[in-house]
Structure 1
Amino acid sequence: MGVAEDFAPSFTQKPQLRQEDDGNKLIFECQLLAAPKPEIQWFRSEEQLSEDSRTNFRIQSIGTNKYLVVLELDDVVETDAGLYKVKAKNTMGEVAASINLNFSPMDEPKEKQIDGLAPTFAKKPAIRQEEDGKRLLFECRIQADPRPVVSWFHNNNPVSEGPRHKLRIEKDGHSYFATLEIKNVTVEDAGKYKVTAKNDLGESNATISLNFDSGDDAAGFAPSFIEKPKIIPNESGTLITMKCKCKAKPKPDVSWFRGTTIVKESSKIKLRIVDIEEDKYELSLEIKDPAAPDGGTYRCHVKNEYGESNANLNLNIEAEPEPEGDGPTFVEKPRITSHDSGKLVVMECKVRANPKPDIVWYREGQKVVESTKIKMSFTKIEEDVYYIKLELRDPGTEDSGLYKCNISNTLGELNANLTLNIEIIPVIKEKPKVIKVIKKKTIIVECKVLSKFAPECTWFKEADAVKEDSRHSVHVEQVKDGEFAVKLEINDVQKTDKGMYKLVAKNEKGEAPHRQLR
């Protein structure tokens, strides 16, 4: 890309027409800015033109990211009259403009040409956050005359005005300021956005991507359902399809249940999982020739290494209405934070659910209960959005392990896994001892150290640190979970090796009191 940023094409000079060879040759010219170099297409009355013996195209660089675009038309005939349009397109967007060719002032053009400027983006769209990220503003400046019609798209779907979306366009001098506002932002709002500006002289578009580093990170994220589950019967009633859509990374394992019984494929039942886009999946269960015994509560269970989620569907062959509301979904990815120099650990997340969900915390499969050390809270922060928190005071190694937050209501269930690792100062279990002497030439001194993770170890002889070289080597080996054997191997033993040896072991939490060997 070089030093400058890439940008969509924009016209610096609208198409102009000049004659050569006593009118037998016509030349259409325009100038534009673009990076990277654009692809050019010419049209007459919406029909794309191709080069031939009479028609020649040229695009010529006339400066940094500036181009002269030319259409030459030889041996001009009356049927060449019409509305000509030039379209320039690169990876950042596209722009178009038009000019009418009439051979007589008395000729009434079949298609209207308006003086002015086709829309061009004066500045690449930008995203601005407000209210701690709860409100996002997509903003761009457009040069156009007459006023353009502006449309917004999210993942190729049109964005319409609503309670969460506001669309504005305001005139600002010789340009227009277009804004898309999103309120109560959730992770489902991530994706590719496109803005299109169009008037009678042409159109232009530009794209911008919205990513959240909190939830959908490169490593992966727990499954969550992105649409309310649906039950779809065919017209004849001979097939019922239950559909859910979820996002997950990596791809989840999917299981269906009716009540507490797992649903298996058969001649009557088909299970499918379809990739619909990156990290998003459509899950379906098809029931052929459904009957009353097939009714009941169905549950779609999705799981990967980061967590799990459930969606409930009530199948009533008598077609009773589905309950209103939504199963739980994450607004913010669950996380663990440390406060007060490690004396307080907080596990927290935000979810959207209707009706209000029930919350249960587990550690290593055991239900967590409140105590002087553990406090749990569950707060409604806005309509259908809840803040869930577990506080752990003065954490120790016994508090380490896999924590699971289970969030459920009548329409679904959501789980998140959080792994808590607590490190402590290493403990030297016993003083160093000689464990092996090989032919009086090699001595191995060993010391056992207790630590959650491998500690940083240094051996000393008297007051001097023993440096590793051809005669001295240090080995740290894990004996079992939380215990390490630290060995000092001395080769080609000499009289000068006599003396007092001690081991110092430390980690991020501190340093263990040393033990000595004489």
Structure 2
Amino acid sequence: MLANDDFNSPSTACEMDLRVVVIYVILSTCGVSGVLQKGHEPPEFLHGSETKTSISRKGAILRLRCSVSANPPADVTWYRYDEEVVEDRKKIRMRVGLNHNALTIRDLDSLDSGDYICSASNRYGKITKTYTVSVVDCYLTDSQPLQPRAITVVPPKLQVRCGDTAVFKCNYKSDFNSHIQWLLEVPANSTSRYDPTSILSVHSKSYVVLESTAHNDDVLRLPNVTRAHNGKIVCLAANTFGYGYNSTVVQVLPQSGLPAFVDELEDLSVSTSAPNFTLTCVARVPLDLGYYLQWEKEGEPIDPEVFVFHHLNQSRVVDACVEEISSTMTISPLVQGHWLSAREGGQYNCLVQNKTGSTIMYGQATVTFQENANDNEASKSQSAIVSLTPRRVTVQEGDSVSIYCHVRGEKKPLFAWLVKPDTSVPVCDIRHTLLIDYISYRLVGSGETWSRDEMNHLNILQLDDVSMEHAGTYLCYVVQSGAREETTLTVLPRNVGPRVIAPFMGNRSVTVGENSVLQCRAESDNTPTVQWYKEVEEGYSDETRSLFGMAVVSLGFPDPVWETAGTYLSLYSFRDGVKVSDQGKYLCVWSNGGGQDYDQGYLRVRVRQ
């Protein structure tokens, strides 16, 4: 844990593998020769021209980087005391890239002290940088600490709204040049959101490096703060002799602001021959601030028990601070046993409200109706059901099914599909019911109609991803004539095996004596069992068996832990500390009546030095 008491404790480079070398540069520019052509440019250093000095400890590795921009590309040469530096595989290495050149010196000693010059030139000019290097013995006394110390972060606490800009300053004392790095502490349950290679581990805590838009590394500037910045931000100051750190606590508040409609509600003109009409309200609200949405007609709340056939609210995160809410409402008076009429017309409002000043916004839509009573009456006596297929169908959960209703009549009829639910299966929503011959049916929808000719019409009810709740008696109902036919749908449970899910076990490395836990997760439609195994050599014992092409020995059947709906967790703990003999490959095997799945990982055990 990063504790304030640790910030100024001595940490030397002799005790740690922290190699931070800050190079100070001397820049001198020579005269330009030649006439510049279009697109050409003389050499220019990419990382400043100020004069600096580097102090490195004896035995360390020193890297001098020289980044140059030029067109045509510059020739780069390293000099020491006017003599060209020659590469030596054991001590001196050179690395050349597109715009950079690096000089690496290994196993530093006092003879390596001095000035190192990077010379870059093309036909349009020549520039040089001088690196002054001093190599000292690694020492540390109470009266002369070398590593950064007295580190503070300003402000020590900060409240900032989502989307705003946050600025922090890291103050510290150091006798030598230091490098600053800003880190964000990542909660243990959130590390899976980041690239594993970007996560740093310090004192058993996980951190990621923050990118700043500030010009100086001792200032952290974060534009457009998000919820991910909520928590602890650490300033880590380091030089070649050690490091120190301190932190600030950030609380990200919801973005202030009022709801805003994405689109205005559109006026509708609906025929009374239509089975229903739909209104959609889309608004954007600040994330985490909360909101309230309600539909009204003529200023009064709409009773979903009376007119609403379908009402669905959905939301999605637009950016780090804003979410978009969408409410879809389908009006169908069939829930009261009649078709649409002019009385369903009028002024409809979508009301959206949040906590910012209790502001209320109204989106308005006017619905008008055109009567087609004569057409409906003329076709009423003509419409009759010719066939309904299939009359009985049995499917498994997850399958799809189509039910065809063939009607003969002079006018294209209006259809309604109703279902009398299977009483043995609990139904989540039974509010929208319609009484036909004293039998309660629930409205499913209107299907999709095709007219083969003026007299023959086909309506299809399509049910995808069938669940147990779909089981029941379905009724094809012709609104104009009242004609109806029934079919029975039986749904059988699908037996599916468990499925291993992320985060996976993976490979781990621990030290002897540590208390370690292996985790294994799976999804299952019913409660699974889990068994743990360890891979062993063939003939290890009488308990050895072959599993997935490996020789394994059983470690037991721990009870799985229910996490969320359909998700289970199993833990295998080394309660008395990990031993060297615990090293090896581990498997967890999930099973239920439908099959099995497994996860595996390798545990590497290090001996404590």
- Length-normalised TM-score, structure 2: 0.26
- Length-normalised TM-score, structure 1: 0.29
- Greater C-alpha Rg: 2
Structure having the higher strand fraction is 1
